[in-house]
Structure 1
Amino acid sequence: MDINVSQIGDLISEGKTKRVFHFKNDGSFGTDSELVYITNKDNISAGDNSRNRRIMDGKGRITVETSSSIFKFFNAVGLNTAFVCRDNNSDNSFVAKHCLMVPIELVVRRIATGTFLALNPDIPEGHRFESPVVEIHIKDDANHDPLWSIETLVKQKFIINGLLVDEVVVDKILKLAKLVYEILERVWHSIDYQLVDVKVEFGVICDENHNKTLVLADIIDNETWRLWPFGDKKQMVDKQIYRVYKEGEVDDKIIDHVRNVFQNVSNLTQKLFGLQKHKLDFLTKESIIVLTGSESCIPLANNFVKQLETEFSKRFVFY
């Protein structure tokens, strides 16, 4: 959508990767929610912003390209997200629903690697979990986002935009995080890419009637997941290719290489998730979607469909 500069208001907040501004909703966005305008920076760093802080030209654009294609897909699936639309006049900016963030990061893992190994030395790298493991990390850069238990989180009694983060809400957050991962994993699996893990965040929207909605928010891009083509770590195409360098080792040649990898993943993401979204665009909210791992699963899915009542078997799309 074309955004008029006059709609962009005062700066609300600024972090290491983005700026958030007030935004005037002129009624053309199909929502009554309060909106914000988010601009992503070209900054890249490693280790909680402590190592190799550099400018990578085009990174903000690549982030928005990647993340917006995923959030558009999730909106089409029917998942509640904060994403509204990209700004056609600024390639590194987008409009989102204004939400207050739950101060945690959820890391959902299928494959044991990275920091998980340090916390669980008895589990070998590459171990595949039958059911994805969901970790809760409190957002605290100074202490490297420490791992929290469900009980610790519930005891904080966080109130986010009027919503008490109790056992019920935490359970919903964990289930949504796992669902997000499993959907992303299936899409990537269609081209033999293994989604090793992904980091997701959630916020809370409170409308004018004081209804509170939990939404998938922030960004999902090449900095928030691990992605291994053909399940091979040596072929990884995520930010880990930047994290491996020690302080001072990064030069312009490495920055160019990282940018090219990020751009290739962005192009692939837009094509892959754009195709899936196109398939979903004709569906109604009453549609039922059956996700399959491959074409060989379709006979089993067909048997499942036959067991459903007739009124629910009118619209099925297989993936």
Structure 2
Amino acid sequence: MARRRQLYEGKAKVLFEGPEPGTLVAHFKDDATAFNNQKRGTITGKGVLNNRISEFLMLRLHEIGIPTHFIRRLNMREQLIREVEIIPIEVVVRNVAAGSMTKRLGVPEGTALPRSIVEFYYKNDELGDPMITEEHITAFGWASPQDIDDFLAMTLRINDFLTGVFLGIGIKLIDFKLEFGRIYDENGDVRIVLADEISPDNCRLWDIATGEKMDKDRFRRDLGNVEGAYQEVARRLGILPEGASLEAIDGDAE
């Protein structure tokens, strides 16, 4: 596919103008960041793996009726997506205490929560993505009460589904981050859809048997073998055949 005009570059992806109006091409990078961009590095092959893992999970979510921005994968590092108006809210689902929750509340890492907890964060790197409430969201006009109801309902369904998917391959879904966006149709009607990606970059994944971390925490905490952890997630999902190179996951994409 011919390279098109670049519209935006983030920490993990570059967005290009799509081939048709209302579409974008998302290019997945190997760049890795942590602690609001204070730590930077490279995870070899991360872009390839996250592109494919996110495709796999987005397609599965579509099958259960979750609307997403994903259209199709184009090649090893790129996918075609719908252009959406991103809601500046990060929705975090926590099933087990980890990450900032342990520091904020003094809960030991690995503590099973009595129920899944949903948290909201204002998507703003300069402010450090501060935690917010529904009152903040509606007061500042970032989303309406109906928008919140819509993405909360989708979030809980996504959590139930992904928990089952990962459980089936011996992985515990500890927590994860979602982003949502608005799509406007020709009649002016608005629809909320799942955006961004679902990958080891924004999910905490622990091996059920050993407790070994299989996500970006390996980069954050200098645990080593980051590439191997991402590849193992892909292998268990059936995306990367045992002993195969990353090129093997390209499949029949354009």
Q: Same fold (TM over 0.5)?
A: yes
Structure with the higher helix share, 1 or 2: 1
Within 5 Å, which residues of 2 pair with 1:103-252?
103-121=88-106, 123-158=107-142, 165-230=143-208, 232-233=210-211, 235-245=212-222
Corresponding residue number in structure 2 for 1:91:
76
Corresponding residue number in structure 1 for 2:46:
59
Q: Which amino acid aligns with 2:230?
A: F
Q: CA deviation at 1:127?
A: 2.5
Q: CA deviation at 1:191?
A: 3.1
Alignment match of 1:44 (pick from 32, 38, 54):
32
Q: CA deviation at 1:156?
A: 0.8
What are structure 1's unaligned runs of at least 5 residues?
26-32, 159-164, 273-319
Tell me the distance in 1 between the aligned counterparts of 2:12 and 2:214.
Answer: 20
- Relative to structure 1, is the Cα distance of residues 66 and 14 closer, same or farther in structure 2, using a 3 angstrom cutoff? same
- Relative to structure 1, is the Cα distance of residues 193 and 58 closer, same or farther in structure 2, using a 3 angstrom cutoff? closer
CA contact (8 A) 1:188 1:195 kept: yes
CA contact (8 A) 2:11 2:33 kept: no
State the Cα deviation string for residues 26-76 of structure 1 (Å, max 9, x = none). xxxxxxx7111111111112211211x223332211110111110111112
Tell me the distance in 1 between the aligned counterparts of 2:205 and 2:144.
Answer: 33
State the Cα deviation string for residues 262-293 of structure 1 (Å, max 9, x = none). 11212223459xxxxxxxxxxxxxxxxxxxxx
Tell me the distance in 2 between the aligned counterparts of 1:68 and 1:43.
Answer: 19
Tell me the distance in 1 between the aligned counterparts of 2:236 and 2:14.
Answer: 26
Give the TM-score, by structure 1 length. Answer: 0.71
Corresponding residue number in structure 2 for 1:13:
8
What are structure 2's unaligned runs of at least 5 residues?
241-254
Tell me the distance in 1 between the aligned counterparts of 2:87 and 2:238.
Answer: 28
Larger radius of gyration: 1
Tell me the distance in 1 between the aligned counterparts of 2:95 and 2:12.
Answer: 27
Q: CA deviation at 1:102?
A: 0.5
Corresponding residue number in structure 1 for 2:229:
261
Q: CA deviation at 1:103?
A: 0.5
| RMSD (Å) for aligned C-alpha atoms | 1.9
Q: CA deviation at 1:231?
A: 6.3
SS in 1 for 2:5: strand
Which stretches of structure 1, 4 residues or more, deviate above 6 A after TM superposition? none
